[in-house]
Structure 1
Amino acid sequence: MNLASLHIRLKHYDRLQADQMTPAISFNGGINENEANLCTLVIALSPGVRLYINEIAFDLRQGSCILVLPVQSYNLESSKGEVELARFTFEAFEVEGMSMNPVAHPPLLCGYPYHLLFSRVKQVLGNEAERRNQFSSSLSASEMAMMQGRLQLILGMMALLDEQASYLQNEEKIKMIQHTVHYMEQHYDEDLTVEQLANMVGMVRWQFSQQFKALTGQKPTDYLVHLRIKHAKTLLCNSTEPLRKISRQIGFKDEYYFSRCFRKLTGNTPREYANIHLHNQQRTVIDSLGRKVHVPKNAKRIVTDGKYTLGELLVLGISPIGAAISMKENVIYHNKLRNIHNIGHWADPDKIAQLQPEFVLLSYYHPAHDLQVLDAIAPTVVLDNKFRLFERLRYIAKLFERSKEAEKWITTYEDKVRLVRRQLADDYTTGETATVYLKLGTKFYIMGQNGFAASLYESLGFRPSAQVKHLIEQGQAWIEIQQYQLNHYAGDRNFILASRSELQTVAQCPQIAAIAKLTPGKIHFMDAIWNYDDPITRGRLLEVLPYIFRRKMM
């Protein structure tokens, strides 16, 4: 099925407004319960639009479009000032000869934003369109025809984004080389060889090097050196570690070879570069507690509690000198933590003071945090613990003037989500409910919108089961449950996370077996290492999701 073979029939069109003083506006689509095949297209006409679909938040840009299914409820809020949306409610039919068969929705991703250029959207909608707060009963037949044509143009623009993604996917050689480029960007600090990269894509060395240079303009070895030196620049401006440690941290075994490469590419020795870029200027930021904090520009010695900040800092190219990394063996990026000092489970002032930081970043406020003591050690900023991944990353990036890096990562991540959802189109249905169970020793937990569950609900289009949805609405990230309660939270599809050593035995739990009987073929067992919500884990998770969904299940 493609968009060209569909007939679109517009049922309603209106515009909605809200501001920060307006309570959250809740919608069930404004449709009759008998009209189960109606879809709603929501378009953000201004910045600051926050849309909740089944309690999952999306911060929309001007021009962002989201297709909402009849089974999905949605709420509208304003995150800043007055905001406006356009809303189309319509039916879709597949035309076969003289007959029209209703379809659930056009062949587009549901519940996930398409970021169109606002200038194009504005051009299509037209300046003459009146703002209306009524449904289509107030539109004349000619107005309905005009708006239906505009709706089809917007849907076509959304489909074009998918076609562009599919084109990249069909270019197999380019895709394979891009995979190795991405792998190098994520693993530049490891002992990589050209033979290893060539084997990853099934090519001989000379063929891989030729294809790699055609795509990037550089040989694989030169690209890797440039990549390492780029990260070295960041570390030199944010760390006072000895050069031998910095060289190992970016993948060089030899400190002197690192120095030669650095000078060749930059014209300065590593220490000369660091001295040139040292600044002591300050700027003022306001943290989530409303406190004005004076922080140094280009701070080098950063300490963080790490729960919702460590992966974000690392993906922005910032390596803190200290973090709460007691979980270092349980995260996929543990190799990046070897030069970071452990400050324990909490922000321990004594351990932090020993590191002589210039900046302390806390991912949330806890009564155990003595902010007055921490502020005396170094300027301390507290994040909002309600921030979702993109909000966190953008906030932290703004703190350290890395907004371009954050937006690049977000754009790349959204492109990957689109590709992965296309790859998995035959493996699951958008709108399925899903539940994430976590087993730690003898205890079982249900995850809310946190950890691995965040990827399911925010990126893959799953909905939480009714009971899990209730947890999310109550603001609970997770709860502990008894084994006899496991079946109570089950969704259409269920993910069981446990440590690697427990994965072999967890399936033998009678209650897990009962869930497997309830949802045959739709229960997955996964390493608990994926139960984190940082950008590094979320990004790498997209690479393994196709294997998770297609391997043998109970």
Structure 2
Amino acid sequence: MDQQTYMQSHTLQFASFRKIGSRGTSKAGNNEEMEPARIVTSPRTDTEQLCSFLLMVEGAGMVDLDGELLFMRNGTGMQIRPGGSFCLKRGDGPTPPCGWLVQFQIFHHGEAAPLAGGFQLLPYHQEIVVRPLAALLLVVQRLAAVSGDGELDALRQQGALCELLALLLESRQQEQRRPEGPADAVKQAIAYVHKHYAQPLTVEQLAGMVGVGRWQFSELFRRLAGEKPLDYINQLRLKRAKELLLLTDDPLRDVAQSVGFKDECYFNRRFTRMYGCSPKAYARSRKQGQKSQAASQPAQPRLVVFGSMLGDVLMLGARPLAASLRIMGQQVVYRDQLQGIRNVEAEDGPETILKLQPDLILFDQEKAHLMANSQGIAPPIVCIGRTEDASVRLRAIAGLLGTAGRAECWLAAHEANIERMWAGLQNIIGQQETASVLVHLRGQLFAMSNQGLGATIYHPHGFCPSTGVRKLMASGKRFISITANELPDYDADRLFVLVSGGEEQQAAVRTWLGQPAWSRLKAFRSGTVHLAEAKWNYDDALTREYLLPMLPEILASRY
């Protein structure tokens, strides 16, 4: 039974939590046994119906499991076989082993009797290394702090139990995903940081978690992410803090702690260095700006948007009434921001669109003919050319929406972030390296111009367009369908191949890349073909902002 099915069909019920061993209780030499710890049961509960986990939070030592000796390190957990007993033996270290025993029962939905056989998603008598250790200690503290037996205490115990099992399952899965090499291991650490940046993290802890030496880890991390580990972590924390400062009125101390900064003064210094003003000044100016804008400007127009400029509109703070989402709504990286926006397609015709009573309609220029017959009776229809520079397009839209100041602030901050990212990648990108962006869509291959992903990678400090891409840019075309025979025109130091669809489609593309026409390409021979999802082939402001932290990972992912 898979993990999701098991958890959906069973209920967990907390039973007990107690300390095993204690510091300084043993005065004898090493290997002296600590106090035996037989699994305790109530008169009405059979030991076979109790799930028991030993958590080692201090020191290290041997665990005698009914005659089977196993070593447990600090920061590990282990499931004890139901009905068994154990005792701790002191190891060679100066600190006596100290652990906690947590016990619970499992019920199948709809049944009153607890199940025997332990927690089936984790093995018996196998040490699970929990990283970060701080996460394990935090759960132990939460369980130990509950002293009563009221309903709220029971709820807290139940919540901490679920968090503990999730932590053990996640750690077990990380152990089973054996990295192919140090670079793959560091990529796992980067992914871990994105999920747990608000927790206490150190370079030593992350390096130990993936089994890479500290200095090698730091260098590989910088090459893959474009920043040193702690700088990268702090950037993620500060970005989230900036969002919280606008969304909440929480004290700065609470905001700092919620994103992982223990010291409010340090948080202030880092924020000021990154954004040019203190957190308090940032929150005050932005909120005052929002209030004055709301007071001085008319209500937001009823807006209908067609095309990829939707991400620009959302970045500028406008909320469209409707947009063309039938295809794009399944592809873009910001799908979580599309709730409440109605789907309408240009092909639906003017009558359908005008029934929405929009104040303003934004069209891609290439589809403007679909509204040609409605001129004179429709609200203003503004056509934005998709071949325009992405920054020019953003400014044009901001001018229509009255948000020019917001656009300029975003463009300045984004350019600074781009410069910082490319500076961090200079050690892995050669001078004047060329690149092409190719998109595989429904069995066809397309070469992209300087739109989409090209808007970011073709940069003075990034890549130069290949010969084929330069010709495409000169022609004014956004993309062109190409055959295998035309691939040499787009050969470059690096090829970015964007794929739409899931794992099955990506597997098909990998087979397709095995054709002889690809093997003759320079990028293929040098191992610099990078596969990525087609969702990155948009150049609106929202997609570009999401892309920056992901581009180093795309560069690290090679076919």
What is the TM-score when the length of structure 1 is the normalising length? Answer: 0.50
What is the TM-score when the length of structure 2 is the normalising length? Answer: 0.49
Instruction: Name the larger-Rg structure.
Output: 2
